[in-house]
Amino acid sequence: MRSNTPHIIREFDEAFLSLGGKVSTMAGQTRINLERSIQGLLNRDIDLCRAVIADDADVDETEREIDAEGLDILMRYHPVASDLRKVISSMKVAANLERISDHAVNIAKRAKKMISRPLVSEAKLIEPVYSLADALLRDAVAAYIDSDSGLGASLKLRDKELDKADKRTTARLSELLEEGGENAELFLHLVFVVRSLERVGDLAVNIGEDAVFLDLAEDIRYRRKAAVAIVKEHPVGNADEDPVQPGQEGDEGERAGESTGSGNE
Amino acid sequence: MTREDFIAVDRFSFFYGEKQALHDIDMRIPERRVTALIGPSGCGKSTLLRNMNRMNDLIDGVRHRGDIRLNGQSLYDPKVEVISLRKRVGMVFQKYNPFAKTVYENVVFSLRVAGRNRKRELDEVVERSLRSAALWEEVKDRLHDSAFGLSGGQQQRLCIARAIANQPEILLMDEPCAALDPTATLKIESLIRELKEQFTIVIVTHNMEQATRCSDRTAFLYMGRLIEYGDTKQVFENPREDETEAYISGKFS
């Protein structure tokens, strides 16, 4: 973690403070966007959906600023050690947050279409999936801001739970789809909403990996065993339960971003 | 095979009179690698480097404790003559310091001192050394002109050619680029990376980027103590010690 000793160049500390602040801001914007997209869907609030779509531009702008400031710091100060990791991981976290916000936009766009049709009670099925995805996002951001490698690595293990909820919910919605009827289109929208939430979880896992890199200089991407080891060594204080489930060790997981369907549709 | 303890510094302490400049330095410097010594001014890095060549012997009131061994042989063994030691160790300084002689005579100086005067041998040494110092193409038509007619970067490379003419085992460099412009600096750095194929190189530098660009190992000294020593990549990306991190990232107040 970065020490609190001031840098010999005052502008260097200011640049770092600004960069960290921007990442926090962007994380807040993104999380609110995701929350409002789900609220818009469940409460059939079309204004909220429109706000999500409009506010995504702010997230995009913040990402651009983070990249510009990060490049500026690299170019001017040649940071090393934890400072170097801070710059690199801030830029990576920003890219992941931007994509999460894109998923919020996807959800908001589908919500808008759904609102024009009568309410289906099955919309409630997405709530537990959202809760899991949001918890991962919240902890990913916290792990990053606090340089908490234990919490960051735990996300890789906890994401399984979200994957299961995604499979379960998608299976249920597929059944309803197969039955056909006038609501088939709504169920299809819901399948895509659930899929977006699952992708949010994957992107939160990426941010957790960035937090580990920031804290320990260790790259745990595609290395589930490394994540398990870090969680054991740096236990998560306020975890609700043991994130390492039996039978999970050694199962190399896929990483978000390499597979299809991540951008705006 | 690379010998891991080509230069072995064993609990080495060094005193200028009452003042202790080095405290129990213990490090193993590998053969045919570049090892950088970094640290703030006065931390003892130049003192350590100069001790590897017994250059501090001439200063009054100095003493040491511990030992430094080159390829297994103690530097302070009473049987070791300083002259023969210097043949095994080449040295390059901060400010290029060619002799007021021709390019050719600068390179063969140490051979002439040793009484080796056969022209064919000297010609070979000149070409080989200047090629190794990446200077041959630039000066091959001016071998008998004064060394002072060369540019700063060329003069420093000439000093490197002179230092390696006698085929030393070790090349010690004390801020070799401090007096050079960026282009000349990069040439010397690229040369250092080539020379490590043949020599074991220890370089003192104030320039962090230089240490990251051309060294394999980095040692961080602070107030006469060795704080951290390891692979350059590890020291700069993920230092183990807080003092190292503070220094390399510029946080010493």
Contact between B245 and A8 using a beta-carbon 8 Å cutoff: no
Contact between A79 and B253 using a beta-carbon 8 Å cutoff: no
SS3 A145: helix
What are the residues whose beta carbons fall under 8 Å from the beta carbon of A34, sequence distance 6 or more?
A100, A101, A103, A104, A107, A130, A133, A134, A137, A200
Domain range list for chain B: 7-98+169-248
Mutate to test the interface with B, among A8, A16, A80, A89 (most CBs of B within 10 A): A80
Residue A20: burial class (beta carbons within 10 Å; 0-12, 13-18, 19+): middle
Kindly report the nearest CA distance between residue B200 and chain A, in angstroms: 26
ipTM entry: 0.76
Q: Write out the residues of chain B at the interface with chain A, using a CB-CB cutoff of 8 A.
A: 208-209, 212, 236-239, 242, 244-246, 248-253
Higher pLDDT, B72 or A94: A94
In chain B, which residue ranges form alpha helices assigned H by DSSP? 45-51, 82-88, 103-113, 119-132, 136-139, 152-164, 182-195, 208-214, 232-237, 242-248
Ordered by where they begin, the domains of chain A are: 10-233 (1.20.58.220)
- Which among B212, B244, B251 is the nearest to A7, CB-wise? B251
Contact between B249 and A79 using a beta-carbon 8 Å cutoff: yes
Pairing label, strands B89-92, B170-174: parallel
- Which among B209, B237, B245 is the nearest to A3, CB-wise? B245
Contact between B252 and A81 using a beta-carbon 8 Å cutoff: no
Mutate to test the interface with A, among B251, B252, B253 (most CBs of A within 10 A): B251
pLDDT per residue rounded down to tens, chain B (253 residues): 788 999 999 999 999 999 999 999 999 999 999 999 999 999 999 999 999 999 888 888 899 999 999 999 999 888 888 888 888 999 999 999 999 999 999 999 999 988 889 999 999 999 999 999 999 999 999 999 999 999 999 999 999 999 999 999 999 999 999 888 898 899 899 999 999 999 999 999 999 999 999 999 999 999 999 999 999 999 999 999 999 999 998 886 5
Band (A18; pLDDT cuts 50, 70, 90): very high
Contact between A80 and B253 using a beta-carbon 8 Å cutoff: no
- Which among B248, B252, B253 is the nearest to A81, CB-wise? B248
Size of interface A-B (CB pairs under 8 A): 46
Cα torsion A147, A99, A70, A137 to 10°: value is: -10
Residue B220 in contact with residue B243, Cβ under 8 Å? yes
Kindly report the nearest CA distance between residue B125 and chain A, in angstroms: 41
Helix or strand run (H / E) with residue A153: helix A149-179
Kindly report the nearest CA distance between residue A227 and chain B, in angstroms: 19
Q: Which tens digit of pLDDT belongs to each residue from A130-154?
A: 999 999 999 999 999 999 999 999 9
Please give the Cα distance from B250 to A241 (Å, whole number): 41
Amino acid at B159: C
Considering only alpha carbons, which residue of chain A is nearest residue B244? A81
SS3 B168: coil
Kindly report the nearest CA distance between residue A205 and chain B, in angstroms: 23
Kindly report the nearest CA distance between residue A72 and chain B, in angstroms: 16
CATH: 3.40.50.2000, 3.40.50.11540, 3.30.300.180, 3.40.50.300. Which one for B7-98+169-248?
3.40.50.300
Contact between A81 and B239 using a beta-carbon 8 Å cutoff: yes
What are the residues whose beta carbons fall under 8 Å from the beta carbon of B115, sequence distance 6 or more?
none
- Which among A5, A12, A81 is the nearest to B238, CB-wise? A81
